[in-house]
Amino acid sequence: MSPATQLFDRIAQRILAAYPAPDLRGITILLPNYHAAQPLAQALIRIAQRPALLLPQMVTLNEWAQSVPLDADVVSDNQRSALLYQHLRRHKWFDNADLWSMTQELLKLFDELTHALDALPDDEAAFIEAVERAYQARQNTTLQLEACLVFELWHAMQAGAELDAARAYQQRLAKLAAQAQSPLYVLMASEWETVEKRFLEAYEQRAMVKVFDLREMEAQPSAPRFFAATSLEQEASAAAMQVRLWLQQGKRDIAIVAQDRVVARRMRALLERAEVLVADETGWTFATLSVSTVLDRWLTALQSDFYHHDLLDLLKSTFIFADMTASERKSAVYELEQLLRKHGVVSGLEKFIDLVPHEVALHVPLARLRQAAALLEQSKKRTLTEWLAALRESLNVLSIDTGLQQDDAGQQLLSALQTWQQELANDGGRYAFHEWRRWLAQQLDVQTYRDSSIASAVRFTHLAATRWRTFDAVLLLGCDADHLPSAGDGGRWFNDAVRSVLNLPTRATHAARQRADLMALLALNDTVLVTWQKDKSGEARLLSPFLQMLRLERESRGASLALDEHELHVYLAAEESHHVALPQSAQPVPNVVAEAVPTSVSISGYNSLVACPYQFYARHILKLNELDEVQEAIEKSDYGERVHEILQRFHERYPQVSGQDVAKMDATLRDISEQVFADLLAQDFAARAWLARWYQSLPAYLAWQQEGEAEGWRYAEAETKFDWPLEGVNLRGRIDRLDVRGDDKRVLDYKTQSDTVLRNKLKEPGEDVQLACYAYAHEAADVAFVSIDSGKVKSVAPKEDASLLAQLNVERLEQVMGALRDGAGLPANGIDAVCAYCEVRGVCRKGEWT
């Protein structure tokens, strides 16, 4: 016979000894939850040994209290929250504080103060009298500022006749106690709240009360097994494996008491991968669900004036424009993304709409966004109800509500929005958009979604929900000292010191209740596994102190903790052995058919081929180039492009500067620079810094140009394209500048980099093909980079003969392209310096095989 069966039988014996069968309807049994009803009823039937038994009323205290009618309506917590927020905002006691968060915490403290009264008032007059007694008692006590503020606000808010949930619960319990006639039996596992103790005291004055406290029934906790994991992944894997083993053993009621929700999420994913569904009694807040994410994306896009990232995130949601087909939505997002990247529009819905012709399909969803945005116009204040109504109307325009209706969590979210709107109909406070949005975010963070559609032998639950419950097996997940005892509802604004002064439960109270619940769970269940991470990020972590003593006791009795863990390690190792691992030698070396080898290669493509053949394969054969980003700030590449254009315009006007007035040349360069930088200066103030940087180099550039002219070189042309046919391939590109000296030619390439960086580029002949290819294309005897950086201008030329270098580079290109047509592979053999900035590294997965 299990320990739980023995305990329930003892309780049944006590009840039947006082009230013989077969009719037990005259007594009431208070349960911690309805899961305890079945084993208790079975125990009563078993001990009574009668063919028929009329069972007693078995009910939870909250359910029993809700059956008591009240004369007044109950004010919702949302109404109280709005009223208190307005009060705090008006008095400006807390500058720059998150008032909605503070409001929520204060209301919880108010409810606890109400429940902590020294009496159980059954009407308004009795309640006001009890509040005044508590208030007068505090008048003679020195309170710190925070405690004084809490107490004064609570006292002020209790002056009205409205019933809040805490007062309503209190009055209902008082009426139940006043009507007490039948004997009352209570199943208790941990300490009750003060208001519930007051109820039992009041009830006992009229009828018999018998409490079965598990802590006093000599119930010994079972000896659980322990698994100390070395990582989150190992803990989740071990826990999932243990659940699967229990299911194979025929266990059909498995509880997972999750202390660490992060591990729980990962474990759930592993179980679902193994086709094991998990029911969830705890639920998840709406803020963690995708149905709330679409609301957040919509409001974020609205508040950011449709910043392009926010807009694209919104449009990629599966819930928006649910009246369109999936292919239509994807096509619209793709078209918009291409337009944004092409035109570089950062934000502004009207700007996006202007990019799209009316006849294009994309115009319709953008127009709907404009219509929905108008409903949530942000410049004026509104009531919370008005904001919610506008939100729901905007969701309808965007067909988000249709998408949410197709999802169970979405249906619950829409229902919650409607409920909040109805509850706040009488609130006259007006709120700015950002205030309402913060309120909505908090609502989504506290409202819980529970999926009732899953019926499974495995369920997530929490410690308080396990009181007086029995399971086939229990998994205590994430039981390190950081998570058990948990922090509970400890305040962000009002800490334990404030609670202690106000005689309210502290973290120590919460921890004691958790320990009692844990010991009760272990007393009623004998198949238990405890898991925790014994180290995290290289730091040791301790097992919960509640469990450490049990672990030491188990070890002292000779049990092998290593043996406890051995079985799971064996199963985990066996499962890992079935995983397909990427071999160390799996360096990708693709080859392509001759028809797929490019017949034309740019100079940048040739550079890519030399740097890493696989990079060339991904970029220029598979065409996996990264999409251009929408440019928000000026980058160095923009600066370089502007310098090229400035110098082209300048030399087209002044091919020769020698003999010209230097001051005039400088002024001309500045004038051209202002014109070329004009669009950037209008777009970003930071462009002024780039322009100033360029101005620093003007004197040096004019001096460098004069030196070249003194050597006989003359500017000839700039930005000249070429497309040279070679053997089996065309080489194409564009040179920055060509100078001539008689029949001699010199190709120059402007770089806004230091001369040191450029010399390093040319250190290994053939590594950088740019200058060599330029020399070949123009049959130039001289080539050089022109370094324009930090107020200095220098020529950086290769040490090798330019003509020879050009010929060797062309021959190499012809040979390599021929080899590719013959089936040669393209290995991923780039050096680390190349890989560090390679956008296709995720394709070759170098980190997996090096």
% of residues, the chain, pLDDT over 90: 69
CA distance 489 to 108: 9
* Beta-ladder partners of 382: 431
Q: Which helix or strand (DSSP H or E) is residue 331 part of? A: helix 326-343
Please report, for residues 102, 436, 493, 499, the alpha-carbon distance to residue 97 in angstroms, rounded to integers and kept in the order given. Answer: 8, 15, 10, 20
Burial of 140 from C-beta contacts in 10 A (0-12 / 13-18 / 19+): exposed
> What pLDDT, in 10s, does the model give residues 790-813?
999 999 999 888 888 889 999 999
CB 134 within 8 A of CB 117: yes
Q: Residue 506 gets which letter from DSSP?
A: -
CA distance 378 to 434: 9
The pLDDT, as a whole number, for residue 563 is 64
> What pLDDT, in 10s, does the model give residues 437-477?
999 999 999 999 998 889 999 999 999 999 999 999 999 99
CB 145 within 8 A of CB 498: no
Of 717, 686, 727, nearest in space to 813 by CA: 727
Phi, psi (rounded to 5 degrees) for 67: -80, -10
Judge whether residue 345 has pLDDT over 90.
no
- Cα torsion 323, 326, 331, 332 to 10°: value is 30
The pLDDT, as a whole number, for residue 629 is 58
Tell me what the mean pLDDT of segment 333-346 comes to: 86
Burial of 225 from C-beta contacts in 10 A (0-12 / 13-18 / 19+): buried
| Ramachandran class of 537: left when φ > 0, alpha when ψ lies in -120 to 50, beta otherwise | left
Q: What angle do CA 325, 331, 332 make, to 5 degrees?
A: 90
Structure-model confidence comparison of residues 160 and 708, the more confident one: 708
The pLDDT, as a whole number, for residue 683 is 74
Residues 6+ apart with CB under 8 A from 706: 657, 658
CA distance 474 to 472: 7
Query: 235-244, 359-368, 410-419: lowest mean pLDDT where?
Result: 359-368
Q: Which two tokens stand for residue 217?
A: 């029934």
Q: Which two tokens stand for residue 651?
A: 């030399």
Q: Residue 54 gets which letter from DSSP?
A: B
| The residue to which tokens 């898991």 are assigned | 531
CA distance 798 to 802: 7
The pLDDT, as a whole number, for residue 312 is 93
Tell me what the mean pLDDT of segment 351-372 comes to: 91
The pLDDT, as a whole number, for residue 137 is 73
pLDDT band at 431; cut points 50, 70, 90:
very high
pLDDT band at 393; cut points 50, 70, 90:
very high
Structure-model confidence comparison of residues 298 and 342, the more confident one: 298
Amino acid at 16: L
> What pLDDT, in 10s, does the model give residues 85-112?
999 999 888 777 899 999 999 999 899 9
CB 734 within 8 A of CB 820: no
The pLDDT, as a whole number, for residue 91 is 86
pLDDT band at 585; cut points 50, 70, 90:
very low
Judge whether residue 386 has pLDDT over 70.
yes
The pLDDT, as a whole number, for residue 840 is 85
> What pLDDT, in 10s, does the model give residues 669-679?
999 999 999 98
Q: Per-residue DSSP letters for 258-303? A: ES-HHHHHHHHHHHHHTT---EESS-EEGGGSHHHHHHHHHHHHHH
Question: How many other C-beta atoms are found inside a 10 Å radius of the C-beta of residue 336?
Answer: 20
What's the N-to-C CA distance of the chain in angstroms? 59
Amino acid at 67: S
CB 618 within 8 A of CB 844: yes
Of 785, 812, 811, 779, nearest in space to 798 by CA: 785
Question: How many other C-beta atoms are found inside a 10 Å radius of the C-beta of residue 111?
Answer: 20
Tell me what the mean pLDDT of segment 207-234 comes to: 92
Residues 6+ apart with CB under 8 A from 76: 165, 423
Q: Cis bond leading into 183, ω under 30°?
A: no
| Ramachandran class of 250: left when φ > 0, alpha when ψ lies in -120 to 50, beta otherwise | left
Tell me what the mean pLDDT of segment 558-582 comes to: 70
pLDDT band at 582; cut points 50, 70, 90:
very low
Tell me what the mean pLDDT of segment 542-565 comes to: 80
Amino acid at 121: P
The pLDDT, as a whole number, for residue 850 is 59
Q: Cis bond leading into 22, ω under 30°?
A: yes
Tell me what the mean pLDDT of segment 38-49 comes to: 95
% of residues, the chain, pLDDT over 70: 95
The pLDDT, as a whole number, for residue 489 is 57
> What pLDDT, in 10s, does the model give residues 111-139?
999 999 888 887 778 877 887 887 777 66
Residues 6+ apart with CB under 8 A from 5: 39, 43
Judge whether residue 33 has pLDDT over 90.
yes
- Cα torsion 435, 438, 443, 445 to 10°: value is -170
The pLDDT, as a whole number, for residue 96 is 76
Judge whether residue 492 has pLDDT over 50.
yes
CA distance 20 to 39: 19
Q: Which two tokens stand for residue 454?
A: 């899953």
Structure-model confidence comparison of residues 156 and 597, the more confident one: 597
Contacts 24+ apart (CB under 8 A), 92-96: 93/149
> What pLDDT, in 10s, does the model give residues 599-655?
999 999 999 999 999 999 999 999 887 665 555 567 788 889 999 999 999 999 999
The pLDDT, as a whole number, for residue 219 is 82
CA distance 543 to 535: 10
Judge whether residue 707 has pLDDT over 70.
yes
29 three-state secondary structure: strand
Average pLDDT over all residues of the chain: 90
Judge whether residue 579 has pLDDT over 60.
no
Judge whether residue 491 has pLDDT over 70.
no
| Ramachandran class of 558: left when φ > 0, alpha when ψ lies in -120 to 50, beta otherwise | left
